[in-house]
Amino acid sequence: MQKIAVLGLGHMGAPIARRLAAHGFPVTGWSRSARAVEGVAPAPDPAAAVRGADVVITMLTDGTVVRDVVTAAAVAGPATLVDMSTIGPDAVRDLAAALPAGVDLVDAPVAGSTGAAAGGTLRIFAGGTAATVDRVAPVLATLGELHRCGPSGSGAAMKVVLNTALVTALAALAEVLLVADAVGVPRAGALEALRGGPLGIAVERVTGARAAHFPVRLARKDLTLSLGDRDLPVALAAARHLAAADPEADLTTIVTEGPACSS
């Protein structure tokens, strides 16, 4: 059984570590908050967490934090580093270049929230060589459905695409409901009518049919990965919605608490 270290026991890292431990993997965990997780041996620092680990999982805020924590951990071969954070393909390439010889990297960001992490129903988008992904596949399969996306960085790239779709769809739904307000259509009726259309998944998120928690501050960070220096008017409009929202609130509040529009 592979020994696992999880660096980052936050909103997503904690249920991931807990599930792996519940399925028999020896798991050591570290987080800045010193959070206790059932079944997970706590470590005082990243270096202690990764000592002797076969697989090191990072679930952290952004590329800079991932690289800083991995550097502090001094991950050494033959461990395999699995980054499950949403950091984008450029940051994955930078991380790969900074790793010492003998440490292989799989970028494996996920789609799904805490419930999916706890229940093992995440969608995991993995980038890396076939042999490296094979090595960690039993670990990732415990957490959900593994999608092999291609070479290093391709899993991170796929996650950028997915999050761009989600954020822009919710921003579009917010504006559609402003139109509903303007023309006198009750929002409940509009949402029901929209449920079966192209914004159906956004409607499910807003109405609670797809339970999740995605803080606005993380959505802002992820949309920045999408935008770069690209001319993306729809994404820029979505960014304006995010800028006006509470950073700690769930992303769906750009729809449910957006500005009212009178006819």
Sort 215 into a burial class: Cβ within 10 Å, 0-12 / 13-18 / 19+.
Answer: middle
The position carrying tokens 């076969």 is: 54
SS3 144: strand
Active-site positions read: 159
> Rounded to an integer, what distance in angstroms lies between the CA atom of residue 142 and that of residue 57?
13
Long-range CB pairs of 142-151, under 8 A, 24+ apart, other chains included: 142/19, 142/20, 142/23, 142/25, 143/16, 143/19, 143/20, 143/110, 143/117, 144/110, 144/112, 144/116, 144/120, 145/121, 147/123, 149/125, 151/127
CB atoms within 10 A of CB 220: 17
Q: Quickly list H helices, 51-119.
A: 63-73, 89-98, 114-119
> Rounded to an integer, what distance in angstroms lies between the CA atom of residue 157 and that of residue 87?
9
What letter represents residue 81's amino acid?
Answer: L
CB atoms within 10 A of CB 10: 14
